Amino acid sequence: MEMLLHKTVSIYLDDILLKGELCIPAKAQAIIIFSHGSGSSRLSVRNQMVATYLQQKQFGTLLFDLLTEEEDQDYSNRFDIDLLSSRLIGATQWLLKVPAAKDCRLGFFGASTGAASALQAAAQLPEIIAVVSRGGRPDLASKSDLHSVNAATLLIVGSLDKEVLNLNKEAFSQLKCEKRLEIVEGASHLFEEPGKMEIVSELAASWFEKYSVRVNV
């Protein structure tokens, strides 16, 4: 696969520096920005797996650390949705200025608490065409933000993840945008069972393909 750009990047937001990895295939029409969950980072094995699959489908990907190493030592920061959302918005605005990303549409992929920050950020960013949540906590986003999301939203939850599934159903009812709740049978919270992350990757790619094409017509 021919890559237009594949490199480690430094994202400067105010007085902090966040490290990231930006990959843009030569034929990419959309770039998916990842919002990681509690205690995770750009090196998350599961999100890297989804990113690799999306790249094979000609999507660009940006994985970056929402918190600095020092900030991550404070456990409360991992659940500060306003802080995480502001970082995601900042990284999105940074990406919009990258020449190689010009004319690419943008989507969010959020996991765990990262799903809440993705939805909260999407509510403020008209550039976001679609959001996918994996085992996410969209219920942690404010109701006003959930009501304001315009991006098509897919919530993916494992059938064995009972508590999170109920929380997703509650958040799903608050969304006014085009939406779908996909329950992966036999999957737990981390989708560790054989073949389950592959299903997540396929569902995410199909969702992003559907809405990037729709905007293009």
Query: How many percent of the chain have pLDDT more than 90?
Result: 77
Full-model pTM: 0.93
Q: For the beta carbon of residue 8, count every other beta carbon within 10 angstroms.
A: 10
Distance, CA of 5 to CA of 7 (rounded, Å): 6
Mean pLDDT of 78-88: 91
Please report, for the domain that includes residue 132, its CATH number.
Answer: 3.40.50.1820
Structural domain total, the chain: 1
207 to 20, 108, 144, 182, 201: CA distances (angstroms): 24, 11, 24, 11, 10
Closest Cα partner for 171 from 196, 133, 148, 141? Answer: 141
**CA 172 to chain CA mean position, Å:** 17
- Res. 200 pLDDT band, cuts 50 70 90: very high
Mean pLDDT of 57-70: 92
Quick one: three-class SS letters along 119-147?
HHHHCCCCCEEEEEEECCCHHHCCHHHHH
Q: Is the pLDDT of residue 43 over 50?
A: yes
What would the pLDDT profile of 142-160 be if each residue is shown by its tens digit?
A: 999 999 999 999 999 999 9
Least confident of 69-73, 101-105, 174-178: 69-73
- Res. 215 pLDDT band, cuts 50 70 90: very low
Strand 30-35 and strand 16-25: pairing?
A: unpaired
Domain of residue 190: give its range: 3-216
Who has greater pLDDT, 63 or 39?
Answer: 63
